Amino acid sequence: MTRQIRLNGFIGFSPVHLSPGLWAHPASRGADYNTLDYWVDIAKVLERGKFDALFIADGIGVHDVYGGNADGAIRSGAQLPKLDPLMLVSALAHETKDLGFGITASTSHELPAVLARRFSSLDHFTQGRIGWNIVTGYSDSGARAVGREKVIAHDTRYDRADEFLEVAYKLWEGSWEDAAVVRDRASGTFADPSRVHRVRHEGRHFDIDTIHLTEPSLQRTPYLFQAGASPRGRAFAARHAEAVFVGGPTPASIAPGIADIRARAAALGRDPRDIAVFTLATAIPARSRAEAENKLADYRRYTDPDGVLALFSGWTGIDFSAFDLDAPLTLSEVKENAVQSLLETFTVAEPDRVWTLREIIAHNGIGGRGPLFAGTPADIADELEAWVEAADVDGFNLSHAFFPDTFTDVVDLLVPELQRRGLYKQDYAPGTLRGKLSGSDRLKETHAGAAYRRLSAAA
């Protein structure tokens, strides 16, 4: 059977996400990022293209490492200003029928019972189309926003995340039994108290004594994305993730990490294929190669180099403002608590490839650190097939230059080519987001969260 390619639309709740400066392009609607009409139009385009999900990045920090301030990000509109994506979901769900929503939230900045309630609420309102992109945070800026002096140490963040998920599973899977809600008008009983259980948890990071405030939703646990690719992040993914988001400029830069995640999952008794891997990419299709090249050249005219380096400095924790743009980049600069895998992508992941900051500005300026495919639909379909084969990815989180151009062109030009080749679905499968992606509306029995389905009142 031909392996199907999956697509998510990847974006941030800002004037521009991974293409700093492109909000200013005359065809861009990025300046309208704070209007519902803008987001409803994006969601409708993605659903017309049978995308699995609208995947929205988020974080409460600002990119203020470059030059010691946030000026580069502010000036270019790069992930600042930034609104709360959880506020979008209900409105977009009301305007769509099948599109899923992957929303980013940090285990370092949230509390389990509070976040679990919000995701349960959205699972009800979306009829099972909500997903959580689990991150742990990486910036001192985000830490200061919640009253900490510095970001929690890298591996400790994942220890906290493991415990956060343990508590969340207890709430989602164990607090309410399937038959707890009866809605019996005759007896006046809404729910059976004997089937609703208090969750008690005492741990290193969290002490909880509560009943989950929402009745069971279609998925109970939201579909779980995860975006950490360090060794500790991969261990976390193998235990918890149903889908993993990775990123790198070439298949060789991400393939070893993907293989490691699948091997770790197998060692835990999971089917390695139960984890869907999405890699970052940007596609700029056109009816001819010349048209695609002209379109890309036009887009590059609006790239803001300081904005690109503001993002790169924020992700890595390194102030690149005083670096020689043409000097080789080395791993010796890596910061323990930043996004470790990102700098490795541009240093040691491919020993024969040496990157300079000037090359990174050009590469990352449109769509971020993943590959940028510009060409005919057939050209780009060939590239996607090659990546699936070489890196063992299941799909792509497609970034964009700006809306409406990039996503609309993908839906109108690239999707039909993928469908013609039998590589892409003709229509959505029925059911929840988890059901569409994994074939089951509930967590599989081999998933870590499934163990918490039958908590007793003494749990």
Q: Which amino acid is at 456?
A: S
Give me the sign of the Cα torsion angle 205, 211, 215, 218. positive
**What residues are paired with 104 via a beta bridge?**
133
How many CB atoms lie under 10 A from the CB of residue 456? 8
Any binding-site annotation on 154? yes
Token couple for 452: 């918490």
Q: How far apart are CA 292 and CA 383, in angstroms?
A: 15
Any binding-site annotation on 139? no
Token couple for 325: 């743009």
Any binding-site annotation on 38? no
Token couple for 270: 């999971």
| Residues 367 and 18: beta-carbon distance below 8 Å | yes
> Cβ contacts of residue 451 below 8 Å, gap of 6+?
169
Determine the 3-state secondary structure of 57 from DSSP.
strand
Angle at CA of residue 255, ends 249 and 257, nearest 5°? 105
**What residues are paired with 281 via a beta bridge?**
398
The CB-based long-range contact list for 150-158 (8 Å cut-off, 24+ gap) reads 150/337, 151/108, 151/337, 152/108, 152/337, 153/336, 153/337, 154/230, 154/232, 154/336, 154/337, 154/340, 155/232, 157/107, 157/108, 158/228, 158/232, 158/233, 158/235, 158/236
Any binding-site annotation on 321? no
Any binding-site annotation on 35? no
Binding-site residue set: 58, 104, 154, 158, 230
Query: Would you list which residues are annotated within the binding site for FMN?
Result: 58, 104, 154, 158, 230
